[in-house]
Amino acid sequence: MGTIAAQQMQAISRQTIEDFLYEEAALLDEWRLDAWLDLLTEDATYEVPATDTPDGDPKTTLSLIADDITRIRSRVHQLLGKSAWAETPHSRTRRLVSNVRIREVTEENIYVTANFVVYRMRFEQIDTYVGRYEYTLVQRGGALKIRERKAVLDLEALRPQGKVSIIL
Amino acid sequence: MGNVALEDLVIDNTADGLFRVNRRVFTDPSIQELERQRVFERCWIYAGHESEIPSPGDFRARTVAGRPVILARGSDGQVRALLNTCTHRGALVCWQPAGNAKSFQCPYHAWTFSNQGELIGVPGEDAYSAAFDRRELALAHAPRLESYRGFIFMSFNPAIEGLVDYLAGARDYLDLVCDQSEVGMEIVGGTQLYSMRANWKLLVENSIDGYHAPVTHQRYFEFLVEMGVDSARSRRTGAGRSLGNGHAVIESAPASGGRPIASWAPHFGEAHKGELEAMQRQFEARFGPERAYRITQTNRNLLIFPNLIINDIMAITVRTFFPRTQDYMDISAWALAPIDERPEHRALRLDNFLTFLGPGGFATPDDVEMLEACQRGFANREVEWSDISRGMKRAHPLTNDELQMRAFWRKWHELIMLSQAAEAPVRHLVAV
């Protein structure tokens, strides 16, 4: 990667990152999941660690979600189909993303953290998911893409939420 | 209880082949109180696994049957279920969920207890009379605690039969799980803690239900086909069995979702194929072809009455759950694995676990949805009965029959009607 590209990486602003994360949140809240898939790289991963092991490595620790791109695509396919009963009909969601921070920029990657609150409305219950995002973003042809996406819950347990059936 | 007597809560009509459960058992708070006394305080209740507290001083503080408990391996090496309440004025003495400690100090007045429960420190002890005796003020503990091949059970019933007797026919099925390692099995780090807005007994039924799989879990089977599994492999054969004492199992083959021990599936990747075949041969050498097939090629969903599920399927999950109210339960689920499992295989196991199991998997969320939907439906009190008659006329009930649930309900009903714990529970190999 040349010097000019590296400079472009260094110059990336928080506003650019925030715009990207807000767009991602809108796609997910609007259930435009195929468009959301387009934000991911070919080797993207999506993780939600277990609530009592937020730093757990899915290879050695039981998680809630640890998807490679194949599983992510299958998950989206299921959610847009008719037999994901937990999301049929779709729940309403509203994501609040804040405290966006660029933690590190290397030649390849932009490491970003943010806070989230995701409200999920279904059968007149509101389930609230609170936590932080850890993203590894990359630049692909002038656009930002997600290579790693982790949602670390601050909840001590999925009580009363009971499940993570949406894309957190 | 209104006008339904306890005897009438379950209709068990083997002559006609009809089994009905009155839905009050899922909605009536007085039933929950009876369950507390007559089920949860009479039976062996799963508290944890030896692998969670391997060394002296190790402890896990968790809620078991509604009680804060410290599962502690004392400095003497013995495991105790210490009741987490200070014998002074009641505060919890252990506030950490896990760790290693020689003692527990109550943060209220600094009374200190050894990890064996003895009261070893009282600030200002000269203020007490001669009648004050530390030995009478040790932390209380569950009167009975036994473990079987690593599984630790506690009981509040001092007169309960020994654990091995209690396990009855379920013991053989625990062995099929525990025989998967010569070194032993361990609970993997990372706990799935979740809940359902539903009565706990619905999860007993659901955990050993074969009938719902192709419908409730349609998206999981579509996922398997997407991954290259031959859809014909989803058509399983197998049996539902009553194991005595309320325990039950469904056992089936082939394992379409793969098994870490030891059945390959396309989504494992070619790299694991040879290894799984080699594993299969090792088991045949150890156990002979018949038992090896049972251990490595069959899936089993096992209920240890009242509320311990061990599902040995696309991975092994240990699941326990307790009612908070009649329409809300707390669930804890873990992964169980061989202690000596190679890292690549452990990673494969945990990955396969998540394809189906747990609140973020492709199956459990839909089970949660179904049980919550049942609980909401129960508001229609005019519909009094659930029908659990499937396969009652079959000599050999199948996994998608409901014998395994009848085994649970018959034991549950027997205990609910039994007002005196002193009567030894009757154990019979039950009709279908």
Q: Is A99 within a domain?
A: yes
Give CA–CA dist B7/A32, Å, rounded: 54
B chain contacts of residue A60, beta-carbon cutoff 8 Å: 188-189, 343, 346-347, 350
Distances, alpha carbon B376 to alpha carbons B27, B198, B206, B388, in Å: 10, 8, 16, 19
Residue pLDDT, tens place only, A40-74: 999 999 999 999 999 999 999 999 999 999 999 99
With beta carbons less than 8 A apart as the criterion, state whether B9 and B22 touch: yes
Q: Identify the residue among A51, A80, A163, A165 best suited for mutation to test binding to B, counting B beta carbons within 10 A and taking the highest.
A: A163
Phi and psi, residue B195, nearest 5°:
-150, 170
pLDDT at site A9? 72
Residue A161 covered by a domain: no
Residues 6+ apart with CB under 8 A from A89: none
Residue A84 lies in a domain: yes
Range of the domain at A18: 3-153
Q: Which residue has the higher pLDDT, A8 or B309?
A: B309
**Above 50 in pLDDT, residue A105?**
yes
Tokens of B281: 């041969």
> For an interface test with B, which of A51, A60, A85, A123 has the most B Cβ atoms less than 10 Å from its Cβ?
A85
* ipTM of the complex model: 0.95
Burial class (CB in 10 A: 0-12, 13-18, 19+), A112: buried
Residue ranges of the domains in chain B? 46-148, 170-417
Q: How far apart are CA A1 and CA B278, in angstroms?
A: 45
Number of domains in chain A: 1
A89/B contact by beta carbon, under 8 A = no
Of B219, B224, B331, which to mutate for an interface test with A (greatest number of A Cβ within 10 Å)? B219
Does some domain include residue A94? yes
CATH code assigned to B46-148: 2.102.10.10
Chain A residue with minimum CA distance to B225: A74
CB contact under 8 A, A62 and B360: no
The CATH number of the domain holding residue A65 is: 3.10.450.50
Q: What pLDDT is recorded for position B428? A: 45
* Chain A residues closer than 8 Å to B218 by CB: 83
Q: Is the dihedral of CA B167, B169, B171, B177 positive or negative?
A: negative
CB atoms within 10 A of CB B380: 9
- Chain B residues with CB under 8 Å of A77 CB are 226
| Sign, CA torsion B80/B412/B245/B254 | negative
**Cα–Cα distance between B236 and B298 in angstroms, integer?**
10
Q: Which CATH number fits domain B170-417: 3.10.180.10, 3.40.50.10540, 3.90.380.10, 3.30.70.3270?
A: 3.90.380.10
In a domain, A105, yes or no: yes
Q: Say what the pLDDT of residue A3 is.
A: 65
Contact B196 A162 (CB under 8 A): yes
Question: A76 and chain B: CB distance < 8 Å anywhere?
Answer: no
Enumerate the β-bridge partners of residue A48. A65
Residue A4 banded pLDDT, cuts 50, 70, 90: low
| Closest chain A residue by Cα to residue B221 | A83
pLDDT tens per residue across all 432 residues of chain B: 456 899 999 999 999 999 999 999 999 999 999 999 999 999 999 999 999 999 999 999 999 999 999 999 999 999 999 999 999 999 999 999 999 999 999 999 999 999 999 999 999 999 999 999 999 999 999 999 999 999 999 999 999 999 999 999 999 999 999 999 999 999 999 999 999 999 999 999 999 999 999 999 999 999 999 999 987 655 667 999 999 999 999 999 989 899 999 999 999 999 999 999 999 999 999 999 999 999 999 999 999 999 999 999 999 999 999 999 999 999 999 999 999 999 999 999 999 999 999 999 999 999 999 999 999 999 999 999 999 999 999 999 999 999 999 999 999 999 999 986 544 444 444 445
**pLDDT (0 to 100) of residue B254:** 87
Q: Is residue A159 part of a domain?
A: no
pLDDT at B2: 57
Q: Poorest-confidence range of A10-19, A142-151, B102-111?
A: A10-19
What per-residue confidence (pLDDT) applies to B4? Answer: 81
pLDDT at residue number A8? 72
Rounded to 5 degrees, what angle do the CA atoms B161, B167, B168 make? 95
DSSP B348-359: HHHHHHHHHSST
Q: What pLDDT is stored for residue B429 in this prediction?
A: 44
Both structure tokens of B76: 């003497």
Output the CA–CA distances (angstroms, integers) from residue A4 to A9, A13, B24, B202, in the order listed.
9, 16, 72, 62
Read off the amino acid at residue B258: G
B171 is written with which tokens? 């013991």
pTM to 2 decimal places = 0.95
Rounded Cα distance, A114 and A98, in Å: 6
Do the chains contact at B365 and A74, CB–CB below 8 Å? no
Whole-angstrom distance, CA of residue B405 vs CA of residue B200? 13
Q: Which residues does chain B have within 8 Å of residue A159's beta carbon, measured at their own beta carbons?
A: 193-195, 330
Q: Do A81 and B219 touch (CB under 8 A)?
A: yes
